[in-house]
Amino acid sequence: MSKDNEILEEFTSKEYEHGWSVNYEADEAPVGLNEDIIRWISSKKEEPQWLLDWRLKAFRHWEKMEEPTWPNVSYPKIDYQSLRYYSAPKQKSKPKSIDEIDPELLKIYERLGISLNEQKRLQGIAVDAVLDSVSVGTTFKDTLSKLGVVFCSFSEAVKEHPELVKKYLGSVVPATDNYFAALNSAVFSDGSFCYIPKGVRCPMELSTYFRINAANTGQFERTLIIAEDKSYVSYLEGCTAPQRDENQLHAAVVEIYAAENAEVKYSTVQNWFPGDKNGKGGIYNFVTKRGICAGDYSKISWTQVETGSAVTWKYPSCILKGDHSIGEFYSVAVTNNYQQADTGTKMIHIGKNTKSRIVSKGISAGKSQNSYRGQVQIMKRAVNARNFSQCDSLLMGNNCGAHTFPYIDIHNSTAQVEHEATTSKIGEDQIFYCNQRGIDSEDAVALIVNGYAKEVLNQLPMEFAVEAQKLLALTLEGSVG
Amino acid sequence: MTLSLKKDHKLADLFLQAKPESAGPKFFSDLKSKARLVLEEVGFPTVKAEEYKYTNISKKIADSIENPGSPSPISNLEKVEALRDLLDSIDGYQIITNNGIPEEALSDSPEGLFGLHHFTDLDASAIQEIGQIEKPENDAFSALNTFSFSQGLRIDIPDGKILKKPLVMVHYVRADENGACVYPRIFINAGKNSQASVIELTVFLNDETVFVNSVSEWAVAENAHIRHYKLQDGNKNTLEVHNTGANIHKDATLTSVVLSLEAGMIRNNLSIDLNASNCEGNMYGLYLLNGKTHVDNHTNVDHTQPHSQSNELYKGILADHSRGVFNGKIFVRQIAQKTNAFQQNNNILLSEDATVNTKPQLEIWADDVKCSHGCTTGQLDEEALFYMRARGMSKESARALLLYAFAGEVLEKISIEPFKKYCEKLVHERLGGSY
């Protein structure tokens, strides 16, 4: 092995730092999945009848569906009957403010570096913290509600704003959309709900932090973001999970609805437990994310930094229905050891003068497989649609793979579509150049990788960008070569 | 390529019944039974099969081919005047097939330059190579050809032989009351250090619906350099599926240029295995389509050894209701370090109703490689048009000139002057006429 292979090796082999778990008393559903479990979850959450019916419909459809096999990933068959579909920390009574939340739970989040204590925060970020299946607390609620912004857990939204939930739930990702979306629709436990009224520019970043704690539990949360006319919101999502030997399933759904002139920016730093060095354990991250630019001049922007999960299967998409609407997708996907990622986006151009931009940067190291799968579709009435896609792959070491599957379907002659992709490795000359200037090889790799991913990292809100940069360095630690 | 489970069995059965397994050397009957098994298992692909997602050729065949049998040989072929001028100007060695069956009497076989053999006349070792490069299990239509061809042609270019004149392969096709399905089958073996150019033309003698399903296999030995040109200019009733497989050895090159103009529906599967170091595969294609013509180019390059190179450029201009499909796969295996692979697909849509589906695909397992692909779809540059208009050119000729320049990048890959001139003329007519 050459010298820089050694450095790469060292650089990419750093362990997962959020691998701990905490014991707390939990309220759990029995293991298994059937209509009774769904009724149990629904009654536990005191849901109205229409939502239960919606869940059951999704479940009945799910039973008829087959797990998709087209993604470029392989994992042992999941036994859906051996999972637990609901686990919630026991809280004596519903907390009215952050002060009433069980200090044990707060500690979990503090350990993750996310303080739910409003006063201590320097930056104004409102956080909805979701532990296993339920939301444990949402900060800055009052400040936000003064502006009319609704930011709360999904269960709360069902109780307090049923008309909104009923109107938009499943409008972007129908309950029967795909296998995992159907499963999520049937059993989703909680998640975040966000409503930005007309003309409001949300003054702070909204954030959800997902944490899986319990073992043998699947996490199924559902996020719904509604941005009314001329509103703006930037939304962050973070996630971690304990280090366990068995695989855990995470099948979430995110729906975004952007009305006329609205802009939604959704950023994810995904850091689920990726499994250990030998590929044991880790999260199966099968997520459906989709936004619709329903109104004219609306904009949805997805930014994701994917570093965790054993298997990732995720295609944040934009349906550009409104005229002049814009969809963006910026992604850095890093895979190491035995991780597998099949991720990308779909841009469906329906409206006139719609624009989309895709920047995807894949980095594979160790024995991992990293795939970009994307679709750009220009419908017949999408006059003057414009798309630019760039998907680059960086390979570190010769045991990993990079794959690109772009689908480009054009039905309109005025469309202008460009797609480009490259695959390369970090050149010995580039590392040598840095060495000459006194930068050691490990820092050089971090520098080059960060430079490579910069176009995407620049899209992240500042606090996240710092975290993401560190995370990139961490994930790749020990894989320089 | 994996076979999909989504299948159309009824159609496959129809074709299987149309051709009883012919007798012949044992090897053939074994190969044909294998092809039958494949076809029985996978059937004809429907649009649910990933590889045929945009090209529903099975339905087209089911709808327009009434008789799955093969037509009988055309008589008086020597009197056919079509393409006579072109053939005279190229002055190559002609190799003729008559409704898919090699026509020995009309083909040139100059002593010592190359060998021409019917499959049934081959010796045991030569026959074993048939169906090994383009395997029936690769594709349902490859299996269909393997099952259905009744005679194939093997061309051997001896070691060290440099052919000054091109081989011109002309397939004459005419449907009759016996059927409308034609199955040309070619195996070309280019010996070490040999060089040759092959031009492949198909002449449709009437406008009746025909289905041409060909398989050609290319074994390109060390340091051999082969150029292959294919002109697809039939009529709106032709359905064509061509499977071309090539196996390239050390220091060898294969360059393939496919020009598609007129057809009902064409599917070209081109797959090149770069099985040694320092070998090169070049794939170029140009499709200028109008009416309801549908052309699908699937290419597959497999880099299995270090230091090999592939270049790919496919360009399309689509008018009316036509549809262009491109799927380019590049595989770089783990040991194939220092691979260079480039792939590009550019399309211009001229009408509201034209469609492009393109999928440039890279699958890479080696880290020290340079691979890229690019793909664009757009219109003519308004500013360039304005520039020419400002200099007194009519709108039509300015457009034609720009389109011609776009197409020219592929046309210039043709190195046989008379053939290039002919193709240029066809392209000119296309661009000046309906566009």
Judge whether residue A116 has pLDDT over 80.
no
pLDDT in tens, B1-32: 333 334 566 788 888 887 665 656 788 888 88
Contact B355 A411 (CB under 8 A): yes
Judge whether residue A127 has pLDDT over 80.
no
What local confidence, expressed as pLDDT, does residue A123 receive? Answer: 46
Task: Kindly state whether B374 is in contact with chain A, defined as any CB-CB distance less than 8 angstroms.
Answer: yes
Measured distance CA(B208)–CA(B236) in Å, rounded:
9
What local confidence, expressed as pLDDT, does residue A152 receive? Answer: 84
Question: B5 vs B285, which has greater pLDDT?
Answer: B285
Judge whether residue B158 has pLDDT over 90.
yes
Facing A404 at nearest CB: one of B352, B358, B362: B362
Interface probe for B, chosen from A418, A419, A428, A480 (most Cβ of B below 10 Å), is A419
Contact A408 B377 (CB under 8 A): yes
Lowest mean per-residue pLDDT among A363-372, B22-31, B154-163, B270-279: B22-31
Judge whether residue B152 has pLDDT over 50.
yes
* Burial tier of B122 (Cβ tally within 10 Å: 0-12, 13-18, 19+): buried
Facing B361 at nearest CB: one of A400, A405, A417: A405
Task: Kindly state whether B336 is in contact with chain A, defined as any CB-CB distance less than 8 angstroms.
Answer: no
What local confidence, expressed as pLDDT, does residue A121 receive? Answer: 45
Q: What's A424's DSSP letter?
A: E
| Contact call for residues B262 and B235 (beta carbons, < 8 A) | yes
Q: What's A353's DSSP letter?
A: T
How many angstroms away from the CA of A7 is the closest CA of chain B?
16
Contact B372 A416 (CB under 8 A): no
Total-model pTM: 0.84
Facing B364 at nearest CB: one of A397, A409, A423: A423
How long a stretch of residues is chain A?
Answer: 481
Lowest mean per-residue pLDDT among A277-286, A437-446, B96-105, B227-236: A277-286
Measured distance CA(B321)–CA(A251) in Å, rounded:
42
What local confidence, expressed as pLDDT, does residue B193 receive? Answer: 96
In A262-298, where do the E strands start and end? 263-270, 282-293
Question: A32 vs B91, which has greater pLDDT?
Answer: B91
Chain A partners within 8 Å of B371 (Cβ): 422-424
Judge whether residue A423 has pLDDT over 60.
yes
Measured distance CA(B267)–CA(A166) in Å, rounded:
48
Contact A395 B367 (CB under 8 A): yes
Q: Specify the number of domains making up chain B.
A: 2
What local confidence, expressed as pLDDT, does residue A225 receive? Answer: 93
User: How does the average pLDDT of chain A come out, rounded?
Assistant: 81
The structure tokens 């992240």 sit at: A460
Judge whether residue A91 has pLDDT over 60.
no
How many angstroms away from the CA of B365 is the closest CA of chain A?
4
pLDDT in tens, A281-296: 788 889 999 999 999 9
Question: A301 vs A86, which has greater pLDDT?
Answer: A301
Q: What's A397's DSSP letter?
A: S
Last residue of a domain, one of B276, B307, B342: B276
DSSP B172-234: EE--BTTBSEE--EEEEEEPTT-EEEEEEEEEESSSS-EEEEEEEEEEE-TT-EEEEEEEEE-
Last residue of a domain, one of B276, B293, B309: B276
Element (H, E) at B125: helix B124-128
Question: B237 vs A240, which has greater pLDDT?
Answer: B237
Q: Alpha carbon B216 to chain centroid distance? A: 9
Chain B partners within 8 Å of A421 (Cβ): 360, 362, 372-374
Lowest mean per-residue pLDDT among A12-21, A306-315, A318-327, A454-463: A12-21
Judge whether residue A95 has pLDDT over 80.
no
Task: Kindly state whether B226 is in contact with chain A, defined as any CB-CB distance less than 8 angstroms.
Answer: no
Judge whether residue B211 has pLDDT over 90.
yes
Radius of gyration of chain B (CA): 21
Judge whether residue A473 has pLDDT over 90.
no
Task: Kindly state whether B363 is in contact with chain A, defined as any CB-CB distance less than 8 angstroms.
Answer: yes
What local confidence, expressed as pLDDT, does residue A463 receive? Answer: 66
Task: Kindly state whether A476 is in contact with chain B, defined as any CB-CB distance less than 8 angstroms.
Answer: no
Measured distance CA(A212)–CA(A86) in Å, rounded:
11
Query: Is residue A110 helix, strand or coil?
Result: helix
Mean pLDDT within A163-191: 88
DSSP β-bridge partners for residue A290: A255, A317
Lowest mean per-residue pLDDT among A111-115, A380-384, B418-422: A111-115
Chain B residue closest to A401 (CA)? B365
Mean pLDDT within B264-288: 95
Judge whether residue A120 has pLDDT over 50.
no
Could you tell me if B197 and B63 lie in one domain?
yes
| Owning domain of residue B426 | 380-435
Task: Kindly state whether A407 is in contact with chain B, defined as any CB-CB distance less than 8 angstroms.
Answer: yes
Measured distance CA(A307)–CA(B94) in Å, rounded:
60
**What percent of chain A has pLDDT above 70?**
79
HSE-CB for A309 with a 13 A CA cutoff: 28
What local confidence, expressed as pLDDT, does residue B13 receive? Answer: 81
Confidence tier at A84 by pLDDT (50, 70, 90): confident
Contacts of B77 (CB under 8 A, 6+ apart): B96, B98, B103, B106, B172
Measured distance CA(A266)–CA(A233) in Å, rounded:
8
| Contact call for residues B380 and B351 (beta carbons, < 8 A) | no
Could you tell me if B57 and B194 lie in one domain?
yes
Measured distance CA(B37)–CA(A148) in Å, rounded:
67
Could you tell me if B262 and B394 lie in one domain?
no
Structural domain includes residue B369: no
Contacts of B242 (CB under 8 A, 6+ apart): B212, B213, B214, B215, B216, B230, B266, B267, B268, B269
Task: Kindly state whether A414 is in contact with chain B, defined as any CB-CB distance less than 8 angstroms.
Answer: yes
The tokens for B249 are 């050895």
Task: Kindly state whether B343 is in contact with chain A, defined as any CB-CB distance less than 8 angstroms.
Answer: no
Query: Is residue B146 helix, strand or coil?
Result: helix
Chain B partners within 8 Å of A393 (Cβ): 362, 364
Could you tell me if B269 and B396 lie in one domain?
no
How many angstroms away from the CA of A429 is the closest CA of chain B?
13
Could you tell me if B192 and B78 lie in one domain?
yes
| Contact call for residues A159 and A48 (beta carbons, < 8 A) | no
Task: Kindly state whether A8 is in contact with chain B, defined as any CB-CB distance less than 8 angstroms.
Answer: no
User: How does the average pLDDT of chain B come out, rounded?
Assistant: 90
pLDDT in tens, A14-34: 566 666 666 666 677 778 888
Mean pLDDT within B231-244: 94
pLDDT in tens, A332-365: 888 888 889 999 999 999 999 999 999 999 988 8
Contacts of B377 (CB under 8 A, 6+ apart): A408, A410, A415, A416, A417, B346, B347, B348, B349, B356, B358
Measured distance CA(A476)–CA(A400) in Å, rounded:
13
Could you tell me if B44 and B164 lie in one domain?
yes
Confidence tier at A74 by pLDDT (50, 70, 90): confident
How long a stretch of residues is chain B?
Answer: 435
Contact B373 A421 (CB under 8 A): yes
What local confidence, expressed as pLDDT, does residue A355 receive? Answer: 94
Judge whether residue B173 has pLDDT over 80.
yes
Q: How many CB atoms lie within 10 A of CB A249?
A: 21
Structural domain includes residue B12: yes
Facing A402 at nearest CB: one of B354, B359, B364: B364
The tokens for B419 are 């053939």
Confidence tier at B68 by pLDDT (50, 70, 90): confident
How many angstroms away from the CA of B428 is the closest CA of chain A?
22
Contact B375 A423 (CB under 8 A): no
Chain B partners within 8 Å of A408 (Cβ): 356-359, 375, 377
What local confidence, expressed as pLDDT, does residue B435 receive? Answer: 46
Last residue of a domain, one of B276, B306, B339: B276
Side chain identity at residue A184, one-letter code: N
The structure tokens 């007519």 sit at: B429
Contacts of A334 (CB under 8 A, 6+ apart): A305, A306, A307, A362, A363, A364, A365, A370, A472, A475, A476
Measured distance CA(B145)–CA(A460) in Å, rounded:
55
Q: How many CB atoms lie within 10 A of CB B35?
A: 25
Task: Kindly state whether A380 is in contact with chain B, defined as any CB-CB distance less than 8 angstroms.
Answer: yes
Facing B371 at nearest CB: one of A413, A415, A422: A422
Chain A residue closest to B49 (CA)? A70
pLDDT in tens, A236-263: 887 766 666 677 888 889 999 999 999 9
Chain B partners within 8 Å of A401 (Cβ): 363-365
Measured distance CA(B252)–CA(B308) in Å, rounded:
10
Facing B379 at nearest CB: one of A70, A408, A414: A414
Measured distance CA(A194)–CA(A63) in Å, rounded:
30
In B264-396, where do the E strands start and end? 265-274, 280-289, 294-303, 309-318, 323-332, 340-349, 355-364, 370-378
Q: What's B60's DSSP letter?
A: H
Contact B361 A404 (CB under 8 A): yes
Contact B366 A395 (CB under 8 A): yes
Contact B362 A420 (CB under 8 A): no
Measured distance CA(A428)–CA(B338) in Å, rounded:
14
DSSP β-bridge partners for residue B211: B181, B239
What local confidence, expressed as pLDDT, does residue A240 receive? Answer: 67
- Cα dihedral angle (B40, B42, B48, B49), rounded to 10 degrees? -150
Task: Kindly state whether A39 is in contact with chain B, defined as any CB-CB distance less than 8 angstroms.
Answer: no
Measured distance CA(B278)–CA(B270) in Å, rounded:
20
Question: A477 vs A13, which has greater pLDDT?
Answer: A477
Confidence tier at A297 by pLDDT (50, 70, 90): very high
- Regarding beta strands A401-410 and B355-364, do their DSSP bridges make them parallel or antiparallel, or are they unpaired? antiparallel
What local confidence, expressed as pLDDT, does residue B388 receive? Answer: 92
Task: Kindly state whether A419 is in contact with chain B, defined as any CB-CB distance less than 8 angstroms.
Answer: yes
Mean pLDDT within B174-180: 89
Facing B352 at nearest CB: one of A399, A401, A413: A413
Task: Kindly state whether A405 is in contact with chain B, defined as any CB-CB distance less than 8 angstroms.
Answer: yes
Q: Alpha carbon B256 to chain centroid distance? A: 9
Judge whether residue A479 has pLDDT over 60.
no
What local confidence, expressed as pLDDT, does residue A44 receive? Answer: 81
Could you tell me if B250 and B396 lie in one domain?
no
- Regarding beta strands B195-204 and B153-157, do their DSSP bridges make them parallel or antiparallel, or are they unpaired? unpaired
Lowest mean per-residue pLDDT among A137-141, B87-91, B378-382: A137-141
Judge whether residue B163 has pLDDT over 90.
yes
Chain B partners within 8 Å of A424 (Cβ): 369-371
DSSP B18-58: HSPPP---HHHHHHHHHHHHHHHHH-EE-TTSGGGSS--HH
Q: Alpha carbon B43 to chain centroid distance? A: 22
The tokens for A191 are 């998640």
Which of left, alpha, beta for A357 (phi over 0: left; psi -120 to 50: alpha)? beta
Judge whether residue A100 has pLDDT over 80.
no
- Cα dihedral angle (B103, B106, B111, B117), rounded to 10 degrees? 0
Structural domain includes residue B37: yes
Contacts of A157 (CB under 8 A, 6+ apart): A150, A164, A165, A193, A195, A224
How many angstroms away from the CA of B305 is the closest CA of chain A?
14
Contact B377 A421 (CB under 8 A): no
Chain A partners within 8 Å of B380 (Cβ): none
Task: Kindly state whether B6 is in contact with chain A, defined as any CB-CB distance less than 8 angstroms.
Answer: no
- Cα dihedral angle (A283, A288, A289, A294), rounded to 10 degrees? -170
* Burial tier of B337 (Cβ tally within 10 Å: 0-12, 13-18, 19+): middle
The tokens for A123 are 């930056």
Confidence tier at B432 by pLDDT (50, 70, 90): confident
Contact B354 A422 (CB under 8 A): no
Judge whether residue A326 has pLDDT over 80.
yes
Chain A partners within 8 Å of B337 (Cβ): 398
Chain A partners within 8 Å of B367 (Cβ): 395-398, 400, 425, 481
Structural domain includes residue B218: yes
Phi, psi of A89 (to 5 degrees): -65, 135
How many angstroms away from the CA of B331 is the closest CA of chain A?
9
Structural domain includes residue B91: yes
Q: Nearest 5 degrees, angle CA B198-CA B204-CA B210? A: 110
The tokens for A145 are 């509600």
Mean pLDDT within A178-206: 88
Measured distance CA(A211)–CA(A250) in Å, rounded:
11
Lowest mean per-residue pLDDT among A363-367, B102-106, B429-433: B429-433
